Amino acid sequence: MARDNPKPTAEAKPKLLSGGNPQIPKGDGDAPVQAYIAAMPEWKHDVGRRLDALIVRTVPNVRKAVRWNSPFYGIEGQGWFLTFHCFTKYLKVAFLNGASLEPPPPIASKDPNTRYLHIHQDEPIDEAQLAEWLRQASRLPGERMF
């Protein structure tokens, strides 16, 4: 008996972890980062797209990966300099060498080298300042690449 062609199944959406952070498998390159951004909920999706585009424009030789359910950005041979992560009420941008930036990003971390920028819904993003931090951070030694 001939079988009818089955209907194509839609790809499963990534699971959202606590705070709405997408659960994306570890991977290197742009594809896993774009999968993470596509799965970011609500307004965070647009912010993630803008942030990724700004990083690529500002640091054209940037390397990308997803580690620990977060996108990471780095320079080959220098290490990771930035990551971001979804929380319920904001997007946390982590400059892994942020204490060395001038001026340092506004929020301190338990790690003395790391500084954060929290992006909330409907708050303007100072893209000029963010780009300057990206330029500085990409020139500094970062966290070891895994």
**Amino acid 12: pLDDT:** 58
What is the mean predicted confidence (pLDDT) over 12-33? 88
Domain presence at residue 1: no
In sequence order, what are the residues at sequence separation of 6 or more whose Cβ sits closer than 8 angstroms to the Cβ of residue 66?
24, 25, 26, 27, 32, 33, 35, 36, 72
Question: Angle formed by the axes of helices 42-58 and 127-139, to 10°?
Answer: 50
**Does residue 10 surpass a pLDDT of 70?**
no
In sequence order, what are the residues at sequence separation of 6 or more whose Cβ sits closer than 8 angstroms to the Cβ of residue 109?
94, 98, 115, 116
Residue 78's identity, in one-letter code, is Q
Domain presence at residue 9: no
**Does residue 91 surpass a pLDDT of 90?**
yes
Domain presence at residue 4: no
**Amino acid 19: pLDDT:** 81
Domain presence at residue 145: no
**Amino acid 74: pLDDT:** 96
Domain presence at residue 14: no
**Does residue 8 surpass a pLDDT of 80?**
no
The structure's pTM equals 0.88
CA distance 136 to 129: 11
Domain presence at residue 13: no
Domain presence at residue 82: yes
Residue 43: give its domain's CATH number: 3.90.1150.200
Q: What percent of the chain has pLDDT over 90?
A: 81
Residue 32: pLDDT band with limits 50, 70, 90: very high
* Residue-range definition of the domain harbouring residue 72: 19-139
Domain presence at residue 8: no
Decide: 59 and 140 in contact? Cβ < 8 Å.
Answer: no
Count of structural domains within the chain:
1
**Amino acid 137: pLDDT:** 97
